[in-house]
Amino acid sequence: MIKTAVVTDRRYLKHFAGRVHPERPERVEVMIEMAESLGRPDLDFCTPREATVEEISLCHTREYIATVERTSHVDRYDFDADTHTSRDSYRSAILAAGGVLTAVEAVLDGGVQNAFALVRPPGHHALPNRAMGFCFFNNVAIAAAWLLRKGLERVMVVDWDLHHGNGTQDIFYGSRNVLYVSTHQYPHYPGTGSLYDMGVGEGIGYTVNAPMPAGFGDPDYLRVFDELILPIGRAFKPEFILVSAGFDCHFRDPLGAMEVTEAGFEQMARRVKLLAAETCAGRVVAALEGGYDLEALANSGKAVLEEFGREADEPLAHPPGGARVMPIVERALQSVGRYWDLS
Ligand SMILES: [Zn+2]
């Protein structure tokens, strides 16, 4: 039986970003209720630990960490127009970063095959010295950097959130040890993630972006996985895969205009799992990023958890449709693809 760790905690509900803010405590609450209601013996519920300042400083400056810590002393601090704290936000944020580390540790220990960290606040927009886009500390980037410090040399981050993970891209832009791949609505917040953001210096080729216009859905996303992400992932041969699992590209989401369904998330998770099975003994950790429609969030999270627990994969059927995304895939293959041996 495949065992999956679910790392979550009601302490994530304590971060409060504002009365009408879309990134609200109920997001994790519905995920916890969903996971608990499944009653699956293969789910191993784990309590997250807090990340240490030293671990967070793998990706953020000490000065910035101290700035976020100081927000614990005021009822509200505005980092920008949509990124606000409450007194409990710092603790929730270090627990979110630590939750992804707890998930990674559970998978490395071998007690579970894969894990899903149901955390908030999210992380993938957070820059080394700046909070933005509802994010304070870059949970997934910290986990990737932590794995490198453990001695791993190739970590892959798959970011299927609606938005481009500018923070994660930025942190590893010059690194060949982290392959960052992102599907996202484009142009859209935060504005980064063009086809020609490909990395710099020895990191060139290790940032792979698939920007897609509004209205694209399952067949388009799955084509991008089959024709771009999986071939480059196979060439990279990751030793561990992290997923920035945002569900705001769901068709019901109020912040996005993409058309992904629960079946689409399940199929993306299957592809990531297949790549992990081929390259790194199935080691995958997904971490919650965005997703602002509560029903879509719970149903999509459930689809990913079900896929993570599935024993055998059927061969991947090529999804019907998606021809409209092929010009984007082809341009990506011509630009970033030339850094890879995809034969
Ligand atoms: Zn998002």
Amino acid at 2: I
CA of 212 to the centre of ligand 1 (A): 14
Could you tell me the two tokens for 83? 């990124």
Amino acid at 207: T
pLDDT digits (tens, 9 = 90+) for 79-135: 999 999 999 999 999 999 999 999 999 999 999 999 999 999 999 999 999 999 999
Residue 281 CB neighbour total at 10 angstroms: 12
Q: How many angstroms separate the Cα of 186 from the Cα of each of 175, 249, 331?
A: 24, 12, 15
CA of 122 to the centre of ligand 1 (A): 9
Domain boundaries, the chain: 4-339
Q: What is the pLDDT of residue 117?
A: 99
Under-50 pLDDT residues of the chain: none
Residue 214 CB neighbour total at 10 angstroms: 12
CA of 39 to the centre of ligand 1 (A): 29
Q: What is the pLDDT of residue 307?
A: 96
Q: In a 3-state reduction of DSSP, which class is residue 163?
A: coil
Q: Catalytic: which of 15, 125, 164, 188?
A: 125
Q: What is the pLDDT of residue 318?
A: 75
Q: What is the pLDDT of residue 343?
A: 84
The H or E element containing residue 155 is strand 155-159
By 3-state DSSP, what share of the chain in percent is helix, strand and coil, each rounded to 5?
40, 15, 40
Q: What is the pLDDT of residue 315?
A: 73
Q: How far apart are CA 207 and CA 195, in angstroms?
A: 9
CA of 169 to the centre of ligand 1 (A): 14
Could you tell me the two tokens for 11? 């302490």
CATH topology of domain 4-339: Arginase; Chain A (3.40.800)
Among the listed residues 164, 71, 165, the one whose alpha carbon sits nearest the alpha carbon of residue 124:
165
DSSP 254: S
163 part of the active site: no
CA of 135 to the centre of ligand 1 (A): 10
Q: How far apart are CA 19 and CA 88, in angstroms?
A: 15
